[in-house]
Structure 1
């Protein structure tokens, strides 16, 4: 099989997300299957170059997976004409400067969200990439999850009729770090390091709502730091200066209302860590990471409110499971495949740096809405 090699400088693979989802379950998974096979029988072969600041960690990952190329010299790998793509999964605070360097070096860029720490920086990256003529993308993995793909199938098929509302619940209890290690790095809870659940999750909600239901036209949010004291990776206490919960109301194009709660201070009493309920005139559905259940208008029961008697109905059993009807791959890998096809074959691609800037915009407006105590319009972005 003929291979087209794409050399990818992968910065941030020593972190949890960069390693597990992007290196292990995406790029290395593609190599394990022999590359990304194309219609003409050839294959795109991703060749990772591990980049980071910790030499020992990079060497350990490279040895574990039999990889030849790793470096702590970002400038050097960007100057190498053999490097085709720069990928960034670093801390948010370090991302913008590195992506700028990659664009200036003429590399195609693909990065985690948010692309920058503020809207001005995110838009500038999009302009720079456009002017440099490089291909660019931002990770928007949630829309590739099985549950949301099934939900989109229902939307596209007109199952809901007129969509009235969307309700989302996301989150779990992140341990404070004193008596059990926290599941998330401590920088997530320090505003000075780019932490906060709004900047982390509102960019996700922007593209999920945009892709499935339409653009967000206004936002109103309440933002809270529920747990003010936490312990870092070395067991030292620190003040949590970033928000750990956000309660947002989003008005969508066409009039539907979305309400999404995001919290790292909530204990899970639902089937999955994130769930969306969509209600429409003709039917409703509840989708999580993998599953999706639906209830059509014709099969909707007639509950009667009577607090004096115990409920005799099992409401969950009145919903129908939406079938898979296809094989679902890892969501990060699915988007990597599309980006590599975009780079090599110039196939259509919509999840670019401008789309990523919309997520940063919504996060900024959400924080401003909470600070000012009012609803804010979400202007259309352009370059």
Structure 2
């Protein structure tokens, strides 16, 4: 059997599919992956022995700077990505028995699977991305902010926005390959039985009529890489530091400076992860250390707290390490949702990213660094599952046999 995987996004979107690919291959299936053509993704997949089929423009260029692309730019990128999927996916799916996609950006995938007569599975990394009266839709950059407050109404407006963006181009491309039009693009992409690749304790799904969600657990894999020698030396030189990193999200240098000052005021040393924004140290004091790509599973076990943007991968890694978190969430995708989960579970605090200040960060850190928060984070770490990718691989291959 052969499976085609597909996503379009940052490393947080790629890594779960790499974990799934590893489990599929362990069960004897062949795997290839459609992903953005960024060099780092190409190197990552090549190192894992996964064939890359590049689709769309490089993602890193879209994430440049501290401000997101304009609404017009995002609309153009989204339209071009649908065309790219219909152009690339048919050949990529040739010889495959299933197509597993992650993220709403996979607008053309189900149509290609339908035309090829192969199994299609839609996956979300966070419950907030799936329609439910229990929560509002996540922020959609470039689309108008709805004026309603009722969750059901908000999801109806969200469906209209998705249709307005993708309906015409999707149905034109479907007609060109002999498929009938769809009325609701979002629900067409999701299907009535989507998978949720999120930990059931950290990010549970609440039953919703009309949607039969299969929650597998988060798709992760064990990282055995050692920490760099210079980092180990810094860690050994004093008490556990606080980690600050925003991954692929561009953030204001003022937020980083405020975080460093707030951490120092709490009497802790600081680790600053450069990330895609290439964050730098705010000064040359020896209580700060700047780091690049490292093993977060191992590092987070050595720190006092993790300050981050609220990405699904960082949140579950910190939770699994049993470390308190401070989520400084920008209004993008599922980041505010993961911040709310950290706060609801009382394993840290959540802030509105653009409004974060020294004062608000100090209060959040005081909460996160309290002994009782650490105790709750440690207890949560013991409950985080690590078999999500294995569960998903088994479900998929069983359904194909």
Structure 2 length-normalised TM:
0.38
Structure with the larger RCO, 1 or 2 (CA within 8 Å, 6+ apart): 1
Larger radius of gyration: 1
Structure with more helix by fraction: 2
